[in-house]
Amino acid sequence: MPLLSILFGILLIALGLEGYTNSVGIFRVETIHSPTSLIPAGVGAILAVCGVMAIRPSLSKQMMHTTVLVGLIGAVAGLWMGIKSALGDSFGAAGKMQLTMGVICLVYVVLCVRSFIEARRRRKAAGL
């Protein structure tokens, strides 16, 4: 799971940087160049740093729970703002980025929850 956190963190960092610089052109509908377009990069940085810290066995459980909390916040905020933008008058690049961040974070949270359930089953089967 730590490597998955790092991977999703890098994905969110790339999303934030792409939205800020419009370098790849996925969201080239309008130019954002707003500091708020870096929010996915901030969420991704937290996921990546916690993922790196989770490589140490003594910190693994705490860091993975921290990342799933950050992912849940990112999913709720991204989906909420993206859906709100989609239902409004204008659905531009910002709304697409918000929805994309929300979906990425939601997938991450689902994968984390599945991993937590599996870890609990393994501990229960081992009698711990």
C-alpha 61/C-alpha 77 separation (Å) is 24
Unique residue bearing structure tokens 């008058």: 89
CB 95 within 8 A of CB 80: no
* CA dihedral sign of residues 33, 34, 40, 46: positive
pLDDT at 26: 56
Q: Domain containing 92: what range?
A: 2-126
Give, to the nearest 10 degrees, the angle between helix 39-53 and helix 2-21. 160
C-alpha 55/C-alpha 1 separation (Å) is 9
Residues in contact with 76: Cβ distance below 8 Å, sequence separation at least 6, in sequence order: 102
pLDDT tens for the chain, residues 1 to 128 = 889 999 999 999 998 888 877 754 555 555 556 788 888 999 999 999 999 999 988 888 899 999 999 999 999 999 999 898 888 877 777 888 889 999 999 999 999 999 989 988 988 888 76
Instruction: Look at the chain and report how many structural domains it folds into.
Output: 1
